[in-house]
Amino acid sequence: MREELLKIIERNSRIDLKELAVILGVEEIDVVNELQALEEEGIVCGYHTMIDWEKTSVEKVSALIEVRVTPQRGQGFDNIAERIYKYPEVNSVYLISGGYDLLVTLEGKSLKEISGFVSDKLSTLDSVLSTATHFILKKYKDHGTVLTKKYEDTREKVSP
């Protein structure tokens, strides 16, 4: 049940417990216990809402930043990653294979705010060798959800 439960709530964290129990074919108490276990084990790390800020009046800019760093002896990349992810404006930090080391995603109110963060805070860190900032112009799909189109049922209404 665990994997199936995770797949469901990954898509819809607002689904109610009773319904979860029904569609999984288990008792509600089992769902409650399993969810609690998943939270305790740190497998379920949070329940977020997907928002397309584009459609609101709130000004937001997001960027992806490729960061090349010098790994530290005994620490590898963990130390520098931590220094970066502690900034609240940083959304995510990934260690990446290939041409650069860390991929940082960032949200800010304006281009200026983001470039300010990169030049003042990120590039000035000792182990950072270089950065390349990419501003996001449009989000087509995020977290498996297509943002630009709505599902439309085009099937014949009755078929054998």
Partner 1 sequence: MKDMLSKQAVGLKPSGIRKFFDIVSEMEDAISLGVGEPDFDTPWHIRDEGIYSLEKGRTFYTSNSGLMELRQEICNYIERKQGVTYDPKHEVLITVGGSEAIDIGLRAVVNPGDEVLIPQPSYVSYEPCAIMAGATPVIIELKAENEFRLTAEELEDAITDKTKVLILPFPNNPTGAIMEKKDLEAIAEVIRKHDILVMSDEIYAELTYKEKHVSIVEIEGMRERTILINGFSKAFAMTGWRLGYACGPKEILEQMTKLHQFAIMCAPTTSQYAAIEALRNGDEDVQEMRMAYNQRRRFLLHSFQEMGLECFEPFGAFYVFPCIKEFGMTSEEFAERFLAEEKVAVVPGTAFGECGEGFLRISYAYSLDNLKLAIGKLADFVGRLRQNEKKF
What is the smallest separation between the CB atom of 112 and partner 1, expressed in angstroms? Answer: 39
Our CB check for partner 1 shows the closer of 55 and 157 to be 157
Q: Which of 22, 32, 37, 146 binds partner 1 (CB under 8 A)?
A: 22
Our CB check for partner 1 shows the closer of 49 and 154 to be 154
What is the smallest separation between the CB atom of 40 and partner 1, expressed in angstroms? Answer: 25
CA atoms within 13 A on the CB side of 5: 25
Amino acid identity of residue 57, one-letter, is S
CA dihedral sign, ordered 16, 19, 21, 27: positive
Which part of the chain contacts partner 1 (CB under 8 A), choosing from 18-26, 39-47, 54-62, 125-133? Answer: 18-26
Q: CB neighbours (10 Å) of residue 38? A: 16
Q: How many residues bind partner 1 (CB under 8 A)?
A: 16
| Listed residue (112, 108, 103) closest to 132, CA to CA | 103
- Structure tokens, 88: 């609240």
Using CB under 8 A as the criterion, which residues of the chain lie in contact with partner 1 when the complex forms? 4, 7-8, 19, 22-25, 151, 153, 155-160
